[in-house]
């Protein structure tokens, strides 16, 4: 057992509104617990991803936060797209989605829409059983299922929700990366939004890269744009990478 996991066991489990204490989102409110997401409360997480958002996201755009958890990155996206933009935050664990909706209300972000669904492979709405860990549906390790989530393919869902163009997608889905991308293949190939993916254990990298290449994304060697500098040279677990469209 690591020191981090030992300290987590001692941390308060009650989920309530917290003022973010540091980092780019200092002063905003997030509804979570010190047990589930202490780094968000302290503002010591996702620094590289938020910096990429700041360089990439523009007012009025539409972005997806796939695997939004308690909403730390969703807050950042919603502020950057502004009142005329849209952020669709997909969080399938129902209680976590409810807390995320409260975060949306407390930060006065009507442009943020909470979707209590998981994005998966092609197909209409269906039910899946998963292990729930620290408020998230986790597919990257084994163990008995402890919760049910609703799963739908993005290409089937999106025309019923909006149908408009997506400018960017952040994906952090604890082992479902390939499923999510397969389920949105049509939209990716047509619109080529910016993509940031955090890879997790057990995900077949080659299959992900082949799918993205088929959709029209740039794959120079084994590293595209690592958001953390120490990840150059490979697609490591628990690290995020950016994929952009091929240049004409």
24, 49 in Cβ contact below 8 A? no
Neighbours of 91 (CB within 10 A): 29
User: Mind listing the pLDDT tens digit for each residue in 47-92?
Assistant: 999 999 999 999 999 999 999 999 999 999 999 999 999 999 999 9
In this structure, what token pair is assigned to residue 226?
């690592």
Least confident of 14-23, 73-82, 205-214, 233-242: 233-242
Domain of 236, in residue numbers:
45-243
Neighbours of 16 (CB within 10 A): 11
Residue 13 lies in a domain: no
Residue 9 lies in a domain: no
Dihedral, CA of residue 20, residue 130, residue 184 and residue 66, to nearest 10: 0
222 CB burial (10 A radius; 0-12, 13-18, 19+) = exposed
Residue 144 lies in a domain: yes
Higher-scoring residue by pLDDT: 190, 149 = 190
What confidence score (pLDDT) does residue 148 get?
86
- Asked whether the predicted pLDDT for residue 230 surpasses 90, the reply is no
Structural domains counted in the chain:
1
DSSP annotation of 246 reads P
Residue 6 lies in a domain: no
Place 210 in a pLDDT band, splitting at 50, 70 and 90: very high
Residue 120 lies in a domain: yes
Residue 203 lies in a domain: yes
Query: Which domain CATH number covers 75?
Result: 3.40.50.150
What confidence score (pLDDT) does residue 233 get?
59
Higher-scoring residue by pLDDT: 13, 194 = 194
- Asked whether the predicted pLDDT for residue 143 surpasses 90, the reply is no
Residue 2 lies in a domain: no
42, 30 in Cβ contact below 8 A? no
Higher-scoring residue by pLDDT: 112, 163 = 112
Looking at every residue in the chain, the average pLDDT score rounds to 88
How far CA 159 is from CA of 54, 180, 181, 187, in Å, comes to 28, 16, 17, 10
When pLDDT is averaged across residues 122-135 and rounded to a whole number, the result is 83
- Asked whether the predicted pLDDT for residue 18 surpasses 70, the reply is yes
Least confident of 27-36, 186-195, 228-237: 228-237
């Amino acid at each position: 057992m690591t020191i981090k996991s030992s300290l987590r066991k001692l941390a308060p489990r009650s989920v309530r509104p917290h003022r973010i204490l540091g980092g780019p989102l200092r002063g905003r409110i997030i509804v979570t617990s010190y047990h589930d997401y202490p780094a968000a409360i302290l503002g010591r997480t996702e620094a590289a991803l938020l910096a990429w958002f700041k360089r990439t996201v523009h007012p009025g755009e539409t972005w997806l936060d796939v695997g939004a958890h308690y909403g730390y990155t969703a807050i950042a996206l919603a502020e950057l797209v502004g009142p005329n933009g849209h952020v669709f935050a997909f969080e399938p664990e129902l209680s976590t989605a409810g807390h995320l909706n409260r975060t949306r209300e407390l930060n006065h972000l009507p442009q943020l829409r909470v979707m209590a669904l998981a994005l998966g492979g092609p197909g209409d709405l269906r039910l899946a059983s998963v292990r729930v860990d620290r408020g998230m549906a986790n597919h990257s390790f084994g163990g008995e299922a402890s919760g049910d989530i609703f799963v739908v393919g993005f290409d089937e869902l999106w025309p019923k929700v909006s149908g408009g163009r997506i400018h960017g997608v952040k994906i952090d889905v604890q082992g479902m990366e390939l499923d999510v991308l397969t389920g949105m293949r049509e939209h990716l190939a047509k619109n080529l939004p910016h993509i940031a993916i955090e890879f997790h254990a057990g995900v077949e990298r080659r299959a992900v890269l082949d799918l993205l290449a088929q959709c029209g994304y740039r794959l120079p060697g084994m590293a595209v744009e690592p958001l953390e500098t120490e990840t150059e040279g490979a697609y490591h677990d628990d690290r995020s990478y950016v994929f952009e469209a091929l240049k004409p």
